[in-house]
Amino acid sequence: MIQRIQTIYLLLTSIVCGGLIFIFNLWVSAGEKIFVVNLFSNESISLQLIPFTFFISSILAFVNIFIFNNRKLQFVIGRILILINLFLLGLLMYLSLTVSGETLVSEKGIGMFLPILAILLLVLANKAIKKDEDLVKSVDRLR
């Protein structure tokens, strides 16, 4: 059952959270681009929490693909992933408000919006999982 549409959504979520964060920068500060890789330094706890939540979200989305036998657990993990990405989005919005907004000093990057794309893909995956669960329940009623 790996050929279902939610597998594609979950795989895209895993790619967005685990791979695209290295391509799109979060913000540019004083001429240097800050990717998630550069955030492993001894900075504030909120800066250290960003890569951790991106990688946890990516790993959980990838693991969620292979739990296709237990659709209820797959649905619950999808909701947990949505909550993790909402937390990450809030953290990134907080950091974007605290980064100075002068164009010569800093500039916000497109990588700040990756959790929104991940949330959208997770909602579509959960909708497809729910549709499969309803189909199985309706077939069980006919037996």
The predicted-structure confidence for 43-94, as pLDDT tens digits, reads as follows 555 567 888 888 999 999 999 999 988 989 999 999 999 999 999 999 888 8
pLDDT tens per residue across span 4-45: 899 999 999 999 998 887 787 676 665 555 555 444 444 555
Across 32-36, 108-112, 113-117, the highest mean pLDDT is recorded for: 113-117
In this prediction the pTM is 0.82
Distances (CA, A) of 88 to 66, 81, 82, 105, 142: 24, 10, 10, 24, 43
The pLDDT of residue 72 is: 92
The predicted model gives 108-116 an average pLDDT of: 81
The pLDDT of residue 33 is: 54
Q: In this structure, are residues 14 and 61 in contact, taking their beta carbons and an 8 Å threshold?
A: yes
Backbone angle region of 70, left / alpha / beta, with phi > 0 → left and psi within -120 to 50 → alpha: beta
The pLDDT of residue 121 is: 95
The pLDDT of residue 42 is: 47
Considering only residues 2 and 90, tell me which one the structure prediction assigns the higher pLDDT.
90
Indicate the residue type of 9: Y
Considering only residues 116 and 34, tell me which one the structure prediction assigns the higher pLDDT.
116
The pLDDT of residue 112 is: 82
